[in-house]
Amino acid sequence: MADDSAAATPPSIDGNTLVAKSLSHLGVTHMFGVVGIPVTSLATRAMALGIRFIAFHNEQSAGYAASAYGYLTGKPGILLTVSGPGCVHGLAGLSNAWANTWPMVMISGSCDQRDAGRGDFQELDQIEAVKAFSKLSEKAKDVREIPNCVSRVLNRAGSGRPGGCYLDLPSDVLRQRIVESEGDELVAKVESFSDHVPQARASLKSEIESAVTLLRKAERPLIVFGKGAAYSRAEDELKKLVELTGIPFLPTPMGKGLLPDTHELSATAARSLAIGKCDVALVVGARLNWLLHFGEAPKWSKDVSFVLVDVSEEEIELRKPRLGIVGDAKTVVGLLNREIKDDPFCLGKTNPWVEAISKKARENGEKMELQLAKDVVPFNFLTPMRIIRDAILAVEGPSPVVVSEGANTMDVGRSVLVQREPRTRLDAGTWGTMGVGLGYCIAAAVACPDRLVVAVEGDSGFGFSAMEVETLVRYNLPVVVIVFNNGGVYGGDRRSPEEISGPHKEDPAPTSFVPNAGYHKLIEAFGGKGYIVETPDELRSALSESFAARKPAVVNVIIDPFAGAESGRLQHKN
C-alpha cells in the first residue's frame, strides 16, 4: 500500500523564490546586478516570474543603472549584489541615488547569521556600511519577514524625497523553506508601491497666494526648474505657467527638455544675466547647491527673493528662502496656474526684462553658432558636437535620450546639444559623478525602449565602465556610444617643463592615456559595430549609419589633445 504521507506534504518554496514573488507582486519589472553566491538563484527565480534581469560586469555600473532607472520611470530601480565586496561596489549606485534623490533599492546577500562575527566568506556588517546613503535599511532575519521587508524598502525609496534603501538577505534566510501557500498569503498582504504624492497642507493655499503675489509684483521674475520637476512629470504644468505669465525660464542641466531649449522664453543662453539680475526666482524641483551657486551673490543679486518649491521640508529649512512651499512640483505648479488663472497677468514680449533676456540669448546664440560653423580639423570639441547635435535633431520619432559625461565633453554638450523632450538628458548630476555613462545608457534603453540612446562621453569617463559595451551587445540595446578621444583626462600631457622632473619623469603624465586608442575595437570584440572618425564627413557617415541601425555601436572620435581645458569649462560661456 502506498504511503499517503509523502503525497500529502504541501509544496514549499525557499527564500529566493519568496523574494522574487514579493518583488513581482509589488510591480517590479526590471532588476540590475551581478550575480554570485548567495543570490544567483534569486535572479533566476525573478526571471522565471517575468522580471527582466540585466546582468552587468561590475556592480558600480549596475548601481548607476538602477539609480537612473528610478529617475526615468518614477519607480525604484533594483540593484542585486553579492555580499561583502559586491555590496561595497554597489554603494556607488546607492550613493548616486542619495545624491540625486532618485528612488532605488539595493538588495545584497550576506553571510549566514550564525557565522556573523566569525570571519565568514565575504562577511561585512552591511547594514552599517550602507548607513550614510540609505533612507531605510532592513534585514530579513527569517524567511517569513521577507515580503514585509521588501515592501517597506520599496515604499520608503519613493516616499517624500526619493532616495536609496537597502535590503539585507542572509544566505541562511534565502535557503529557508516555507509552505508555498503560506508564502503567497504573506505576499498578498503587503502594501504595493504608490506614487507617494504628499497630501496638501492647511497652509498651502496661503503659500500659493503669496507666491503668485511675489511673481505678479516682480519686475524681473525668473522660473528655474530642475530634475526634481522632471521626476515629478511637471512639464505640462510648467509649460502652462511660463506661457500664462510670460516669465523667462532657466533649466538646470537635467531639467533641460521639460520645455524645449528652443522655446522663445528660454534663458539658458543668457544664464548670467538671468540669475544676476532677477529680483524674484521661483525655483521648482532644484536645489540651491553648487549647480545654482548656492543662491548667493555675486552670481545672484544680493536682493533676489527666492520662492522654493521642494518635496523636502528639510531642504527649504536649509536654504531659508523668502517663501518655501513643501510639495510635489507637479501639484504645486498646477495650483499656481489655477491661482493665476483667476487673476491673470503676463509680461509680454515687449516687457523690458523679457526683451533683455531675449536679446542676450540671441547674441550669445549667434556667437556660439559662429564658432560652431567652423569645421576645425584636427577636431576641437565644438565641430564634432555640432555634427552630433544635428544628427540627433534629425532623428524621427521620439527624441533620443542623451547621456553625457566627461569634463570638456559634458560642458560643451550642455551648451550645444538641444533637448526637446523631458527626461532625455542624463549627465554626471548633483555629485558630478564620472563613470555613470554605460550604466545610464543601459537604464535608458530598458526604461525607454522606443527611444534611441546616444552617449556623448569623454575618453576618461568612458573608461570607467567601458567593459559594459559587452552588456549592450548581449542584450542588443539601441545604444550608440560616442567617445571624444583626446588622449587623457582633459587631454594629453599638460605639464610644464618644470613639472617634468624627478626619478619617474619618463612615466606618462597623470592625465595621459595611450594616444589615439582604438576604443571602437572594444565593442567589435563582442560583435558590435565600431567606427573611428577624424573628419566631419566620416563622423556624419558613422552617425547616420549607427543611428539608423539602432544597434550597439561605439564611435571613436579623435580629438586634438590640446583642445580642452583642465577646468572642463571652455571659453564660450554666456
Grid cell locating 567: 577646468
What letters, b where the CB count within 10 A reaches 16 and e where it falls short, cover 3-38?
A: eeeeeeeeeebbbbbbbbbbbbbbebebbbbbbeeb
Q: Residue 458 is which amino acid?
A: G
- 484 pairs with which residues across the strands? 458, 557
Question: If phi over 0 gives left and psi between -120 and 50 gives alpha, with beta otherwise, what is residue 488?
Answer: left
Q: What is the chain's percent helix, strand, coil content, to nearest 5?
A: 45, 15, 40
How many angstroms separate the Cα of 166 from the Cα of each of 132, 133, 157, 564?
Answer: 11, 9, 9, 40
Q: Angle, to 10 degrees, between the axis of helix 146-158 and the axis of helix 180-189?
A: 20
What is the Cα–Cα distance from 468 to 426, expressed in whole angstroms?
Answer: 17
**Cβ–Cβ under 8 Å, residues 231 and 285:** yes
First-residue to last-residue Cα distance in the chain: 90
**pTM, entire model:** 0.95
Q: Is 67 helix (H, G, I), strand (E, B) or coil?
A: helix
Map grid coordinates 534623490 to a residue. 101
- Within 10 angstroms of residue 194's Cβ, the number of other Cβ atoms is 10
Q: What are phi and psi of 132, to 5 degrees?
A: -65, -20
All residues at 6 or more sequence positions from 539 whose CB lies less than 8 Å from its CB, including other chains:
384, 387, 388, 533, 555, 557
DSSP state string for 248-302:
-EEE-GGGTTSS-TT-TTB-GGGHHHHHHH-SEEEEES--SSGGGGGG-TTTS-T
Q: What are phi and psi of 545, to 5 degrees?
A: -70, -45
What is the Cα–Cα distance from 457 to 523, expressed in whole angstroms?
Answer: 15
- Within 10 angstroms of residue 146's Cβ, the number of other Cβ atoms is 30
pLDDT truncated to tens, each residue of the chain (574 aa)? 455 555 678 999 999 999 999 999 999 999 999 999 999 999 999 999 999 999 999 999 999 999 999 999 999 999 999 999 999 999 999 999 999 999 999 999 999 999 888 888 898 999 999 999 999 999 999 999 999 999 999 999 999 999 999 999 999 999 999 999 999 999 999 977 665 555 556 679 999 999 999 999 999 999 999 999 999 999 999 999 999 999 999 999 999 999 999 999 999 999 999 999 999 999 999 999 999 999 999 999 999 999 999 999 999 999 999 999 999 999 999 999 999 998 999 999 999 999 999 999 999 999 999 999 999 999 999 999 999 999 999 999 999 999 999 989 999 999 999 999 999 999 999 999 999 999 999 999 999 999 999 999 999 999 999 999 999 999 999 999 999 999 999 887 888 889 999 999 999 999 999 999 999 999 999 999 999 999 999 999 999 999 999 999 999 999 999 887 765 444 333 4
What is the Cα–Cα distance from 20 to 79, expressed in whole angstroms?
Answer: 13
- 481 pairs with which residues across the strands? 455, 554
Q: Residue 517 is which amino acid?
A: A
**Cβ–Cβ under 8 Å, residues 476 and 462:** no
Three-class secondary structure assignment of 143-212: HHHHHHHHHHHHHHHHCCCCCEEEEEEEHHHHHCEEEHHHHHHHHHHCCCCCCCCCCCCCCHHHHHHHHH
What is the Cα–Cα distance from 392 to 256, expressed in whole angstroms?
Answer: 15
